[in-house]
A = this chain, B = another copy of it.
Amino acid sequence: MASTPLTPSPAPAEHTEFVLTLVCADGPGIVHGVTGAVVAVGGNITESQQFASSETGRFYMRLQVDAPATAEEFEAALAPVVARHRIEHVLDRARRPLRTLILASKATHAVNDLLYQRSSGHLPIDVPLILANHDTIAPLAGFYGVPFEHRPVSGPEEKAAFEARVLEAIAEHDIELVVLARYMQILSPELCAALAGRCINIHHSFLPGFKGANPYRQAYARGVKQIGATAHFVTTDLDEGPIIEQNVIRVDHTRSPRELMAIGQDAESRTLRQAVTWYAQSRVLLDGTRTVVFR
């Protein structure tokens, strides 16, 4: 491939690994056009996935590209094809930690898992703040060196104040993702709207079974043989947002609701961690009320 104006420097350019995600109306020539931009910047595709939704007619793509180019150079190379196919796209550095705000209540297992995985280098997020309406997580946050704020919520006014603080923290820390790690308050419609597409909740059932409160009690009463957990985007429609990941664990008639709850925590932590990891790696895209997950 001949040299292009985008890589004029005679000095060997520094290599960057990029993640490019894009969405547009499906049609011919998109992949050829996008990969043309990759070739133009001397890039090497290290991972590539695509999906054409017959439901919405949209085309989704995620590329990892190792290139001796800057983001500006890559954007410039992409500009014509982006314009031609009316592509919405995001170009980012691979493995850049996502600025993540965690909301929690009393239960510690999901937060413990997220913080441990982050500290082990398996979960590419930065957590500038944990906000909780109980204080049980304070020691854990302290251990992992994550700022923690405890704001009790016992009435509508405190709830409004809590949510105001959420929005403030998002602005203050330039938050890209809000994770409800067993935060047991229902978000107001306004907050749901403000966080659309960037707020992940873990629900302690295999949705759409057992929406709402006390899903393990419901699962016990119904006598299910497997319990589950569901990570989904938060929408104003409670427990109805697009599903990102689900897991189940086999149980039997001997388990009490309390035991189901203990058993299920493992599925909850694992499922939330998986969803957050994929989101942080730009692998989760919205296709109407469904998600495209480029695992």
Contacts and interface: CB of A to CB of B under 8 A. Distances in A.
Interface stretch (A14-22, A177-185, A201-209): A201-209
Interface string A250-284: 00111010000010011000100000000000000
Q: How many copies does the complex hold?
A: 4
A244 B253 CA distance: 10
Main secondary structure of the interface of A (DSSP, over half): mixed
A225 B245 contact: yes
A44 interface: yes
A52 B291 CA distance: 26
Interface in A191-208: 206-208
Interface stretch (A5-13, A26-34, A85-93): A26-34
Interface string A93-110: 000000000000000110
Contacts of A210: 208
A77 to B, nearest CB: 12
A83 interface: no
A51 B45 CA distance: 9
Contacts of A51: 253-254
Interface string A23-58: 000111101100110110011111111111110000
Interface of A: 1, 26-29, 31-32, 35-36, 38-39, 42-54, 108-109, 112, 116, 120, 122, 139, 143, 206-210, 221-226, 228, 242-248, 252-254, 256, 262, 265-266, 270, 287, 289-293, 295
Per CB-CB distance, the 9 closest pairs between chain A and chain B, nearest first, are A223-B290, A32-B35, A209-B209, A225-B246, A143-B143, A208-B209, A31-B35, A253-B292, A32-B39
9 contacts: A28-B42, A29-B39, A31-B38, A32-B32, A35-B35, A51-B253, A108-B120, A209-B209, A222-B289
